[in-house]
Amino acid sequence: MPVPIFTDIHPIEFFDEPTCECQTKKDGGGYEDTATLKFLTGSELPRSAALGFVVTDVNGNSYLLGSLEAPRPVVECEHRSGVPSGDPAGFSYEIKHVSIKSMVPCLI
């Protein structure tokens, strides 16, 4: 059942093709998801906020990664200067979220 999003959503402009994958593994008596979102953008994301990410797939389905409560996503940022062959300068992000359910269907 999709959950509603009751907060502001700020679109992130990205270069190339972002990727989002979710791996599920058996952990003792239950299951654990690890969702990984990767993208390259020209702007830096806020560092002090508890971030959540809404990802919309090619079929128009939206998923929430993270929330205000723990466990929060781990956000890794790499500042890239670009190369003359055409790779753009910007910020490369890798977001990982580990939880019982990491990609929660949502309504935006």
Say whether pLDDT at 81 is over 90: no
> For residue 93, what pLDDT is reported?
97
CB 3 within 8 A of CB 105: yes
Distance CA 39, CA 74 (A): 14
* Percent residues over pLDDT 70 in the chain: 100
CB 33 within 8 A of CB 102: yes
Confidence of residue 15 (pLDDT cuts 50, 70, 90): confident
User: For residues 11 and 2, which has the higher predicted lDDT (pLDDT)?
Assistant: 11
In this structure, the number of other CB atoms found within 10 A of the CB of residue 37 comes to 23
**Terminal Cα distance for the chain, rounded:** 14
> For residue 8, what pLDDT is reported?
83
CB 13 within 8 A of CB 31: no
